[in-house]
Amino acid sequence: MTQQCDARLPQARVKLADYTTWRVGGAAEWLAEPASLEETQAWIEWAAHQGMPCRVIGAGSNLLIHDDGLPGLSLCLRKLQGLQLDATTGTVEVLAGEPIPSLARRAARAGLHGLEWSVGIPGTAGGAAVMNAGAQGGCTAEWLESVRVMPIEGGNCFELQRDQLDFAYRHSRLQDDNLVVLSARFRLQPGHDPDELKRVTTANLSHRTTTQPYQQPSCGSVFRNPEPLKAGRLIEEQGLKGTRIGGAEISTVHANFIVNTGDAEAKDIAQLIQLVQDRIESEHGIRLHPEVKRLGFASAA
């Protein structure tokens, strides 16, 4: 596979707005969409050999990419899908690009309890591990057993166990280390009634779709909750729902969402994020920290 990658180039000057759920962002200098572990490793090694930066964009569901785009190789893992589950032991092996909703549904159908909360998260298994994604009282760290990773600059793959990942609220060491998640292993609870799990999963999805602006492009929740307070409530109390900059708007449905009303640019969203941070800090002395990862920006504060 390495020889194949060396013999051809990834796609050049690809508009990254088509690869993010916000539908904003400039062009990637180079873009690769591997569909196997071998291809993923080969493209990482290709970028390292070329001496260029390599960034993983996954499903693009938790990213704000600068309007000027990204230099080097952008590695989109949304085609790196596949999972194997053992209904007896509860073990689920999943490739990094597997969508979280499909993982949650497959687990429920197999009678495996643990991921019902995750069905509405528009991300991938790899992204969930990196961000310690969570919703409705559940989080990835509760059920993740280990991840298989590779250094972004190339090198040998290795495994990290849950106790090595430094999990905290919406955080893991994977956000700080230059590692690419290739696959993950979850340990769920076997032996549950599939019909009941499917009912709970469907109810969780229905709750999310009726209380959040799922019909408009967004990244999901923008800010981490400053526990025990809720970011959405703090923003709403400041009367910021419906506030617009360019084509970006603080959702009128849920204040912790910023939506693209149709013609937003990354700079509009970045300015709204800054506006919210400044207002909440001024009024409450609390600095809200974004969940969303910003690529190509000088500062991610």
Question: Would you please indicate which residues are annotated as catalytic (active-site) residues?
Answer: 170, 221, 291
Contacts 24+ apart (CB under 8 A), 77-82: 77/33, 77/34, 77/40, 77/124, 77/126, 78/19, 78/33, 78/124, 79/33, 79/34, 79/35, 80/34, 80/35, 80/36, 80/37, 80/40, 80/182, 81/35
Cis geometry, peptide bond prior to residue 101 (ω within 30 degrees of 0): no
Distance CA 274, CA 267 (A): 10
Distance CA 211, CA 9 (A): 44
E strands, the chain, in order: 11-15, 27-32, 54-56, 63-65, 70-75, 83-85, 91-95, 134-135, 138-139, 144-151, 158-161, 179-187, 244-245, 248-250, 258-260, 293-295
